[in-house]
Amino acid sequence: MKHTIIPTVKSGPDVQGISSVLAWACALLALALPLAVAYHLLSTPVESLLLRAGLSLSASQAAALDITLGQKCLAVVLGVLPVCCASYGLVCAMRCFSGFSQAEYFSLRTVKYLRGFAAGIFASVVMGVVSSTLITVVLTAGAPAGQRALSLGFGSNELLTLLFAGMVWQIAAVMAKAVALAEENAQFV
């Protein structure tokens, strides 16, 4: 009796399947995040919004704020802008992962979407810093003189996210060079 040994090849992760799941997750988040943030901003008391922006108010100062509907709506629009930038990045990531799920690993289109993701995340951080500053100005605009505020916040989370976006941008640049080299080599074959 002859025994045949069949080598077992360890299969790696299902890149196409995981990419498909990630594409759907990005699409879902790109739609859900702006809606969730808008709802949160509309339902959160003004004092809490100012506290989140780094401005703490005493009870008398909070009572002195006379926030109009226009101010609250402008604060909501300003608060949703950073998450809309992130949603753009997520849509780009969705398209990139959709390409991966169809075995499109090295193409200029995939690189373009990866760069779009990095740009959206970068813009989200920058817009987040700017919009939180503008929200404090908008919400305290009607306060008595001496109680208006301007608050600027930039921390390690923002710094790390900017670094991450820059790293993804650079990875996309390297991938673009790899695509160009692959296309050049394909012409010689």
C-alpha–C-alpha distance, residues 73 and 116, integer Å = 29
- Summarised one tens digit per residue, pLDDT across range 78-88 is 999 999 999 99
Give me the torsion for CA of 62, 63, 68, 72, rounded to 10°.
Answer: 30
Give the pLDDT confidence of 33-68 residue by residue, as tens digits. Answer: 999 999 998 888 877 777 776 666 665 666 667 778
CB distance 57 to 121 below 8 Å: no
- Pairwise CA distance, residues 10 & 124, whole Å: 40
What's the rounded Cα separation, in Å, for the pair 49 and 143?
15
Band (pLDDT 50/70/90 cuts) for residue 182 is: confident
pTM: 0.82
For residue range 135-172, what is the model confidence (pLDDT) as tens digits? 888 888 877 677 667 777 888 999 999 999 999 999 99
